[in-house]
Amino acid sequence: MKAVRLLDGKERSLLRRHPWVFAGSIARGKADPGETVRVEAADGRFLAWGAYSPSSQIRVRVWSFDEAERIDHAFMKRRVAAALALRSRLAVASDGVRLIHAEADGLPGLIVDRYGDVLSAQFLSAGMERWRDAIADILMASTGAARLYERSDSSVRALEGLEPRAGWLRGEGATSVQIREHGWQLTLDVAEGHKTGFYLDQRDNREFLSQWVARLGLQRVLNCFSYTGGFAVAALAGGAHSVVNVDSSAPALVRAAAHVQLNGFDASRHEAIDADVNSFLRECLKTGRRFDAIVLDPPKFAPTAAHAERAARAYKDINRLALKLLEPGGLLLTFSCSGGVGAELFHKIVAGAASDAGADGAILARLEGAPDHPTSLSFPEGDYLKGLAVIKQAGPTHPDSAG
Ligand code: SAH
C-alpha cells in the first residue's frame, strides 16, 4: 500500500474529519490516478485511507478515517447501502431522488440520481473513476433500477485529468423519463438535460412556492432561470393565474411549455421567453410590467470564494431589478447555488439590493436544498444552495408604507 506523508501541522483538518488533502499539504508520496493510499501525519501515524489524484489540487479524497477498514468492493457496497438507507427514511415526495450526494455520503466525486427506474450518475473524481464498474454493479443490484446512464461530462473532470464521458453504463433505451414530484408530473432527458437531467435540489422549494402562492393569493408569477419550468408548474398548481418562464435555453423552454399542458393547465396561462434574464428584467422595468411573485434561480455565479465579489454584484443586480418589478406584498424567492457565497453573504447581497430598489422585505423563510442533498457537518463546502423567501414591503421612500 502506498503512503502519502503530510507536512507537519497539515493533519489538523483530517483530524476534524474533513475529507480533502490539498497538494500543498503533502511532504512526500504519490500513486496512480484513483489508487488507494494511506495518508499519514508527519510523524507517520495513520490519518485516513483516500484516493490519490495526481493532477488535482485536491490530491487525496478520503474514503475512510478508520485504519481497520479495507477499501474494496464490500466497502463501496456498504457506503452505497448507507446512502440508500438514509433516502428510504426521508419519505421524499417524488420518484426523482438524489441517491448519492458525493462527500456527504462518503463517496467523494459520485453523484447518483434516480428518475423512476432510470439512474443517472456522474463520476467526477479519479477515485470514483477507478471504482466505476463496481459502483455500477452495486447500484443495479441494490436499487432495482432497470438502467443506468452515465453523465460524466461535467467540466470538473478535467481538473482530475479525466476525459468527459456519457452514455448507457447498464441497460439501454429511451433517455426521456417522466417523474411525479409532489402533486405534478415532470419530464426530463438524462442524455440531453443539465447535470444528470434535472434540478432535484429545488424540489421542496417548488412545493414551498406552490403553498405560498395559494396562501397569499398571488396571481402573476415570473420564473427567472426557469430551466424546464418546474417552479412555474408549482405556481400554477398553487392557483397562480399566469406564469412567465425566462431562460436562455430554447430546448428547456420547449419542455417547460409541454409541462404546463402535461399538468392540465391551459397554455394561455403560460409564456416562455428565450432571453437573458437581466435584459428581460430591464425590459419589464421600462414597459411597466409587474409581478406578484418572482423566482430567481440563477446558475452558479461564483464557483469558489475567489469569485465571490464579482458574483455578489451580479446577484445584487438581478435582485434589485426583481424587487423593483414586484408588487408590494409580493413574494420573491431568490437563490444562490454558488459554493463561494455563504448564506450570510447572500443575505447581505439581497438586503443591499432591496435598499437600492427603495424597498424592504420581510423574510418569510430561509431555504436550502432538499434533504436528499445532505451537507455533512465535517464538510461545509458541500453546502451550496441557499435561498430567501421575502415578502416585499414598501421601503422608506414610499410614504404609504405601514406605520
Ligand atoms: N429553476 C430551475 C433550475 C435553474 S438552473 C429548476 O427548478 O429546474 C439555471 C438555468 O439558468 C439554466 O436553465 C440555464 O439555461 C439558465 N441560464 C443561465 N444563464 C442565463 C441567463 N443569463 N439568462 C437566462 N437564463 C440563463
Q: Which atom of ligand 1 is closest in space to residue 198's alpha carbon?
A: 8
The closest residue, in CA terms, to atom 11 on ligand 1 is 225
Given the residues 337, 370, 385, 390, the one annotated as active site: 337
CATH number (domain holding residue 83)? 3.30.750.80
Q: Ligand 1 within 6 A of 207 CB?
A: no
Helices 132-143 + 73-89 axis angle, to 10 = 40
- Measured from the Cα of 277, ligand 1's closest atom is 23
Q: 365 and 263 share a domain? A: yes
Domain-located, residue 340: yes
Which atom of ligand 1 lies nearest, measured to the CA of 249? 15
Answer whether residue 97 is part of any domain: yes
Q: Are residues 221 and 345 in the same domain?
A: yes
Give the CA count within 13 Å in the CB-facing half-sphere of 355.
Answer: 6
> Which CATH number does the domain housing residue 29 bear?
2.30.130.10
Cα 215 to ligand 1 centre (Å): 27
Facing residues of 240 across strands?
A: none
Residues 209 and 95 in one domain: no
Nearest in space to 385 (alpha carbons), one of 348, 320, 333: 333
- State if residue 315 touches ligand 1 by the CB under 6 angstroms criterion: no
Please give the pLDDT value at position 381: 87
Phi, psi (deg, nearest 5) at residue 50: -150, 175
CA 290 from chain centre, in angstroms, equals 29
d(CA 13, CA 11) in angstroms, rounded, equals: 6
- How far apart are the C-alpha atoms of 118 and 187, rounded to whole Å? 12
Of 141, 159, 175, the one marking the end of a domain is: 175
* 77/60 same-domain check: no
Do residues 128 and 158 both lie within one domain?
Answer: yes
Q: Report which DSSP code applies to 33.
A: T
Q: In this predicted model, what pLDDT tens digit does every residue of 186-232 receive, in sequence order?
A: 999 999 999 999 999 999 999 999 999 999 999 999 999 999 999 99
Q: How far is the CA of 280 from the centre of ligand 1 (A)?
A: 13
CB of 225 sitting under 6 A from ligand 1: yes
The tally of domains found in the chain comes to 3
Does any domain span residue 402? no
Instruction: Judge whether 401 lies within some domain.
Output: no
Task: Give the residue from 16, 32, 64 where a domain finishes.
Answer: 64
Would you state the pLDDT for residue 302?
Answer: 81
Q: Is 403 within a domain? A: no
Q: Which atom of ligand 1 is nearest to the CA of 252?
A: 13
Which residues in the chain come in under a pLDDT of 70? Answer: 395-403
Residues 87 and 59 in one domain: no
Regarding whether 380 and 291 lie in a shared domain, the answer is yes
Q: For residue 338, what is the domain's CATH number?
A: 3.40.50.150
Are residue 58 and residue 84 in the same domain, yes or no?
no
Q: Is the CB of 187 under 6 A from ligand 1?
A: no
Range of the domain at 97: 73-175
Beta-sheet pairing, 242-247 with 176-181: unpaired
Pull the grid cell for residue 346.
447572500
CA distance 152 to 110: 10
Is 185 among the domain residues? no
Flag whether 120 is in a domain. Answer: yes
Co-location of 115 and 239 in the same domain: no
Do residues 28 and 100 both lie within one domain? no
Same domain, residue pair 248 and 330: yes
**Global confidence as pTM:** 0.96
Contact predicate 97/13, CB 8 Å = no
Q: What is the pLDDT of residues 32-41, one digit of tens each?
A: 999 999 999 9
CA end-to-end span of the chain, whole Å?
A: 71
pLDDT for res 1: 85
Closest residue by Cα to atom 9, ligand 1, is 299
**The pLDDT of residue 305:** 78
Q: At residue 4, what is the residue type?
A: V
Which residue, by CA, sits nearest to atom 18 of ligand 1?
Answer: 299
Q: Is residue 253 located within the same domain as residue 275?
A: yes
Protein residue whose Cα sits closest to atom 7 of ligand 1: 230
**pLDDT score of 397:** 53
Cβ(138)–Cβ(123) under 8 Å?
no
CA 28 remoteness from chain centre: 35
Cell of 127: 477515485
Out of 37, 64, 91, pick the residue that ends a domain.
64
> What residue owns the CA closest to ligand 1's atom 25?
247
- The answer to the question of residue 305 being in a domain is yes
Active site residue 337: yes
CA dihedral 190, 193, 194, 200 (to 10 degrees): -60
